[in-house]
Amino acid sequence: MLHKMTRGALIVFEGCDRCGKTTQCKKLVDALNRDGGKAEFMRFPERSTAIGQTISGYLEKKSELEDHAVHLLFSANRWELVPKMLRLLNSGTTLIVDRYAYSGVAFTGAKPGFDLQWCKQPDVGLPKPDQVLYLTLSPEEASKRAAFGTERYENTEFQERVAKNFEILKEHDWKIVNAGKSIEDLHGEIKSIVTQTVESSKDKPILKLWS
Ligand code: TMP
């Protein structure tokens, strides 16, 4: 008997710096694969492409770019990965993605003179996540963790404006997860949410973001 191929789910992690997003994404991919599923880790910016390398040089403060131009590069970096994302999703692989268009809007929108509506436009039509997990951390918890690195945007004042933008972008179906707990407890909570999403997304079409 022929079985219809079911698709993978598109799971996006967003949240402030140092909330443990990357650690949780990687643990989740390992757990899903161990359980017999197919899952892959992706992150944005994806620094390995030509566009990604330009972005990386900018974040490392090795080069300067005009703010609108770099915003469009971050978006182009997502679009250039869309064919790969769709291929994987349609072949049944769940994608665990560390940052996506919401970071794009929240970060550029934290710069003076930027309107969130303008910021959203280049990402309209990207594959829409089946689930966004938004990791939050209180300022007290955050201050107990390692200090900021030296990349662009890694300072408290900017990050506070980013957090406010995430609050505006947040949609009713986002899962807000308090990241101020142990790695294992947080992992357990996240895994149970994502396991349900993987199941419920199987037969649903992939929708388009913000359209
Ligand atoms: P990373 O630390 O997760 O590699 O992210 C790199 C930085 O780039 C982080 O400060 C967030 C920022 N960023 C944007 O400004 N726009 C975007 O579209 C994305 C994905 C990240």
Each residue's pLDDT tens digit in the chain (211 positions)?
Answer: 666 789 999 999 999 788 899 999 999 999 999 999 999 999 999 999 999 999 999 999 999 999 999 999 999 999 999 999 999 999 999 999 999 999 999 999 999 999 999 999 999 999 999 999 999 998 778 778 888 889 999 999 999 999 999 999 999 999 999 999 999 999 999 999 999 999 999 999 999 999 9
pTM for the full model?
0.97
Q: Is 109 in the pocket of ligand 1 (CB under 6 A)?
A: no
Backbone angles phi and psi of 160, in degrees to 5: -65, -40
At 11, which helix (H) or strand (E)? strand 10-15
Contact 137, 16 (CB under 8 A): yes
Query: Within its chain, how far is the Cα of 99 from the centroid?
Result: 2
Q: Is 153 in the pocket of ligand 1 (CB under 6 A)?
A: yes
Q: Nearest C-alpha to atom 15 of ligand 1 is from which residue?
A: 107
Q: In angstroms, what is the span from residue 118 Cα to ligand 1's centroid? A: 18
- What interface predicted TM-score (ipTM) does this complex get? 0.98
Q: Which atom of ligand 1 is nearest to the CA of 101?
A: 18
Q: Is 21 in the pocket of ligand 1 (CB under 6 A)?
A: no
Q: Give the closest residue to 173 by CA, choosing from 202, 133, 114.
A: 133
Q: Nearest C-alpha to atom 9 of ligand 1 is from which residue?
A: 153
